[in-house]
Amino acid sequence: MRKISLSNLDKAFALIAENAKLYIPVDGKGGASFKLWQEGVKMSDALNTVRSAKDFFFPQMETLMEFKTEGKNIEIIDNRQEKEDFVVFGVRACDVKSFEILDRVFLSEPVDSYYASRREKGVIVSLACGRPSETCFCKTFGIDAANPAGDITAWKTETDLYLLANTEKGEKLLSAISSITEDCDGKAVEEQKKQISAIMEKLPLSNVTTEKFGAGKTKEYFDSPAWDELSSHCLGCGTCTFVCPTCQCYDIKDFKTNEGVQRFRCWDSCMYSDFTLMAHGNSRASQKERFRQRFMHKLVYYPDNNDGMFSCVGCGRCLTKCPISMNIVKVMKTLGGKEND
């Protein structure tokens, strides 16, 4: 394990930024967000960013290819490019886990080359959560806020930043800043881990369990009468899907430019009424059905297809952002029954 004094952190950032684009969480008007590091940019102390870190690998909008058309002719232009090296610093445990969930979608055959090329170039430095909040329930999904994954795991104390490489990519990055870091024992880190675990135990959502959910539960929950009540106020605004680190639905659209046609992909939401609209009808005609889809996907369908892994990391974003205060915890408590309360 290495450590660096917080007073030297800017130097470390500068060293990293020499070879790669470096993004760190920065405070802003609406909360924290990942920004490109430059001289003078200070790291946020906020627990997490408003938007998740999925943008780095699955951006809200990206061009897939271009076309030129003339008369009856079409030219297909594959303008995919090698991505640049980049480092994302300060990703929380829940969001790091979300990459694993997205990987299972985008890196399964046929591999999504756009996502894969960013995954290949990106280095993740995670940051343990010193002060988890009342909307956090990562523990429900087996995630340890005190010991996040990633290429490097970092722990921040009052005075120092402790760094531990978990992968080859992480080793490489650590060696790039070795001149300003020093070897250390992990005592301070062990201390912090204990503190974090103690906080986690006391969080209001610490008793939410996944026990009642997972693979093979479609029949049990699909026709539950609870969906009517749960979805009755949902506005179908899609906010929960956009802030969610594990939501991955997308649309593909064409855009005519002066030079030709750009085919781009953008985030879409299963909460939208036109998501499944077809000429002969809509397979999810009401908001109840769309609402049910989102939560059944996270709690049952995704586990069905992914060895029981859930498609929620308990980041709590949907808890804080839904305009009608509906969220996955309420769904789990209502469907799962009393034991889940």
Q: Does 279 bind ligand FAD (CB under 6 A)?
A: yes
Pick between residue 211 and residue 254 the one whose CB is nearest to ligand FAD.
254
CB neighbour list of residue 206: distance below 8 Å, 6 or more residues apart = 137, 139, 200
Contact 108, 101 (CB under 8 A): no
Alpha helix segments (H runs only) across the chain:
9-19, 93-106, 113-121, 168-176, 187-202, 218-222, 226-231, 239-243, 287-296, 302-305, 317-321, 328-336
240 binds, among ligand FAD, other proteins, ligand SF4, none (CB under 5 to 8 A by kind): ligand SF4
> Considering only CA atoms, which of 313, 269, 300 is closest in space to residue 102?
313
Given the complex with ligand FAD, which of 266 and 324 has the nearer CB atom?
266
Q: Which are the contacts of 339, defined by CB distance < 8 A and separation ≥ 6?
A: 209, 211, 212
One of 1, 14, 27, 117 touching other proteins (CB under 8 A)? 117
Q: Name which of residues 172 to 231 contact other proteins (CB under 8 A).
A: 218, 222-223
Task: Give the range of 44-52, 125-133, 204-212, 273-281 binding ligand FAD by CB under 6 A.
Answer: 273-281
Out of 317, 331, 333, 335, the only residue in the binding site for ligand SF4 (CB under 6 A) is 317
Query: Per CB under 6 A, does 336 bind ligand SF4?
Result: no
**Partner whose binding site includes residue 312, from ligand FAD, ligand SF4, other proteins, none (CB under 5 to 8 Å by kind):** ligand SF4
Among 53-61, 63-71, 168-176, 228-236, which window interacts with ligand SF4 (CB under 6 A)?
228-236
Burial of 324 by CB count in 10 Å (0-12 exposed, 13-18 middle, 19+ buried)?
exposed
Residue type present at position 237: C
Least Cβ distance, residue 201 to other proteins (angstroms):
34
As a whole number of angstroms, the distance between CA 317 and CA 314 comes to 8
First to last CA, the chain: 40
- Residues 229-268, one symbol each (x = binds other proteins by CB under 8 A, - = not), give -------------------xxxxx-x-x---xx-x-x--x
Among 107, 323, 339, 341, binds ligand SF4 (CB under 6 A): 323
User: Could you say which of ligand FAD, ligand SF4, other proteins, none residue 222 binds, taking C-beta under 5 to 8 angstroms by partner kind?
Assistant: other proteins
Structure tokens, 131: 């002060």
Residues that bind ligand FAD (CB under 6 A): 277-279
